Chains A and B, each alone.
Chain A
């Protein structure tokens, strides 16, 4: 199984570092995730155990653990992943939930006025995703049950279409 960690275009050193820590990797392995890829954006991390191959850092003792900064689209990663761990970016949240993939969201508490935290909390309350923090990430992965989460509603384009038609007196 494949676990994908993403921070979008932001810098979130703590999450990237935590995702590459033994604590997180051990618990992912225990849950059956063999492949772990971290999209680190503008974050810095300890490259000591990694070998740089082109745009990708590969862990020397385990080539199934990889880190890279950006790709034009993360859609393919979301589709292939069996678990996504993400910062609280609203774009990522919608894209991942629409694919009905289990999602753990870690808001970046070092940001001031982080309104994205509001979205993560609201959706966690509705049980569409699991919200955690950097230090409790291993616990959050360990305790995550797919039965804890409810499927996200499908896109309903008719709502806005009806509003606009109504406004333009089309209806």
Chain B
């Protein structure tokens, strides 16, 4: 009896592990022919981690062709109204720019949305209560990535841009939940902050193996031979 249970558990664990190996990012993924032949738009989500994180994330977005990446979701932490305002500011700026040379095929859907999730950990919050707030944050992330799309039939995003801090790890976890169960999951791109010259941030270290692209802005950060790429300053 004990032996049978042990065998079943081991098999289950093996299946889970194999599934994880299967869903981890790979060096080269197959290019879908359909995607190449028909130019389409991709929905984009970006996490605004407040302060310098928000400024850098919005600077990255400012250079994108918004007709390609539409609609856009700006995920901000609860209470961080400033980040939400800055996101609206960028949208207004881009609209003003594009109205001088109008964009074809404007549809009726709103081009962007603001999504609020609770913080995984507040500044100076004691470590012992962090699992509770982190779980709260994860629950919201799962709602947006897994549950809501099940009703609307629309995936949350095709690509997700992350640049820290802690709460963005919850978004990554939610994406892995989707991957694990074969639900539509966005590509994840992590961009380490311009301020990180010699040492990666904690969220950078944590997310490095899990994201599809890991981008740094100072080459010394890749001296350890780990994965990642550097094409100079991005902000």
Contact = CB atoms under 8 A, between A and B. Distances in A.
A160 B234 contact: yes
A155 B232 CA distance: 11
Nearest to B215: A163
B62 interface: yes
Interface in B161-210: 187, 189, 191, 193-199, 201
Contacts of A159: 231-234
A168 B195 contact: no
Contacts of B65: 161
A168 B154 CA distance: 18
Interface stretch (A31-39, A57-65, A77-85, A113-121): A113-121
Q: Is the interface of A mostly helix, strand, loop or mixed?
A: helix
Interface in B110-163: 158-159
A122 B193 CA distance: 14
B198 A118 contact: yes
Contact of A115 (B187, B196, B213, B215): B196
Given A89-B52, A90-B193, A122-B197, A163 B235 contact: no
Interface in A132-171: 153, 155-161, 163-165, 167-170
Nearest to A171: B36
Given A115-B199, A167-B159, A91 B55 contact: yes
Contacts of A116: 195
B68 interface: yes
A153 B217 CA distance: 14
Contacts of A167: 159, 187, 189, 212-213
B218 interface: yes
Contacts of B2: none
Q: How big is chain B's contact interface, by range?
A: 35 or more
Nearest to A121: B197
Contacts of A91: 51-52, 55
Given A89-B52, A90-B194, A169 B231 contact: no
A23 interface: no
Contacts of A163: 189, 213, 215, 231
Given A115-B196, A159-B231, A165-B68, 5 more contacts: A90-B194, A121-B197, A160-B60, A164-B159, A169-B35
Interface of B: 31-32, 35-36, 39, 42, 51-52, 55, 59-60, 62-65, 68-69, 158-159, 187, 189, 191, 193-199, 201, 212-213, 215, 218, 231-235
